[in-house]
Amino acid sequence: MCGRKFSHEELTWAEYRDILAIVQPPPNSNFQPNHNICPTQMVPVCVNREGSRSLERMHWGLVPHWAKDTKFAANMINARAETLTEKPSFKPLLNEHRCIIMVSGFYEWQREGKKKTPYKVERSDHQPMLLAGLWTHNDRLAIDSYTVITTAAPDYFTPIHDRAPAILEQAEIGTWMDGGWEEAENLAKTYRGELTATRISSLVNNNRNNGPELLEPIAE
């Protein structure tokens, strides 16, 4: 699962531009750190617009084109890779509505009985994390929204959680954004690289907390 994400101060407009090959900056390219990205927030998302890549702020939690309100969005922050072609909300988006959400990492909670221990999860090489997603537009509500695709977690990660986002490598961006679904489908699978999970404070549990102290490691 991917229920929270974070982008720290090192994730600048220049990083978005250079990694995702975005030509035109968005109207507001002064990106501020967000140490506690929660569902329903507006998040920078890379999409295809008229033959080129665009960075646009979108609602986290898919609001299908047929929805009359956003009440379903909280249950559509993630989309399981294994059932994308079976779900009517996701299947129509697979060919032309794929997107990438670039973040510094995500949070996950390890459950032990009633206890939940939070961890921050990053690439082990500390490069930005490129999450595969799907997006759509709802005319009725005039809202663009997205969902993060999830897969089975790597074996070494399963003690924390059995699901993880579908994470792309930079060399795979072109295939995910521009290729056909038959090619792109192969990228929505368990991450082959290394992830580092670091235990952090329970301050992250409160979505009103949003500062660099959320990322500070604490002793196991």
- Predicted pLDDT at 32: 84
Q: Are strands 98-103 and 129-138 parallel, antiparallel or unpaired?
A: antiparallel
Annotated catalytic residue 99? no
- Find the DSSP H helices in 84-191: 173-178, 181-184
Phi, psi of 18 (to 5 degrees): -75, -40
pLDDT at position 12 is 86
Identify whether 2 is a catalytic site residue.
yes
Pick the CATH number of 4-107+126-194 from 3.90.1680.10, 3.65.10.10, 3.40.930.10, 3.40.50.1370: 3.90.1680.10
pLDDT over 70, % of the chain: 98
Residues whose CB falls within 8 Å of the CB of residue 145, separated by 6 or more in sequence, listed in order: 58, 59, 60, 61, 62, 63, 73, 135, 136, 138
Residue 26 above 90 pLDDT?
A: no
Question: Does residue 29 have a pLDDT over 70?
Answer: no
* Domain regions of the chain by residue span: 4-107+126-194
Q: Mean pLDDT, the chain, as a whole number? A: 93
Q: How many residues does the chain have?
A: 220
Which residue shows structure tokens 């695709």? Answer: 149
pLDDT surpasses 90 at 28: no
Give dist(CA 132, CA 184) in Å, integer: 10
Identified catalytic residue from 2, 46, 99, 172: 2
- Whether residue 8 is predicted with pLDDT greater than 70 in this model: the reply is yes
What is the model's pTM?
0.95
φ, ψ (nearest 5 deg) of residue 137: -120, 135
Catalytic residue among 46, 99, 108, 122: 108
pLDDT in tens, 147-176: 999 999 999 999 999 999 999 999 999 999
Q: Give the per-residue pLDDT at 1.
A: 66
Q: Which residues contact 208 (CB under 8 A, 6 or more apart)?
A: none
